[in-house]
Amino acid sequence: MNQYQVVILTSIEKFISEIPSFDKEKILASIACIQEGDFQSVYIKTLKSPIKELIVKKYRLIFFIDGKIIYFIGAFIKKTAKTPRIEIGNAQNIYHIIKNNN
C-alpha cells in the first residue's frame, strides 16, 4: 500500500522516458520505494530544505514532499561535483508556485 501520492511533472516523465531501459527501471524502482515510505533503501540528499535530490547512478531527480504528496519537479544528469545552481533555483521556483496554488 502506498503511503504517498507521487506527482511527476510532464518534463520529468519525458526525461525518464528518454534514458536507457535499465536506468529507467532503477529510477522507477527508487520512486516506488519512496512512494511506499521507504527512504532508507534509496540515496537521497537534501539540497535546500525542503527540496531534496534522489540519486540513481548519474541521474538526479529533484523533489519535495508536501503532506502525503511527493512532487518530482526536476531531473538532470550529474556532470560536476556540485548540483548546478540553476537546477536548485528552478526547483525553488516550482516549489513556491505549487505551494502558493494549494
pTM: 0.91
Cell of 74: 526536476
What grid cell was written down for 59? 541521474
b vs e for 25-44, b when ≥16 Cβ sit within 10 Å of the residue's Cβ? ebbeebbeebeeeeeeebee
Q: To which H or E segment does residue 32 belong?
A: helix 21-35
pLDDT > 90: percent of the chain: 81
Q: Would you kindly state where each structural domain of the chain is located, as residue ranges? A: 5-101
Q: Which fold has domain 5-101?
A: YaeB-like fold (3.30.2310)
Partners of residue 53 on adjacent β-strands: 45, 62
pLDDT tens for 49-66 read 899 999 999 999 999 999
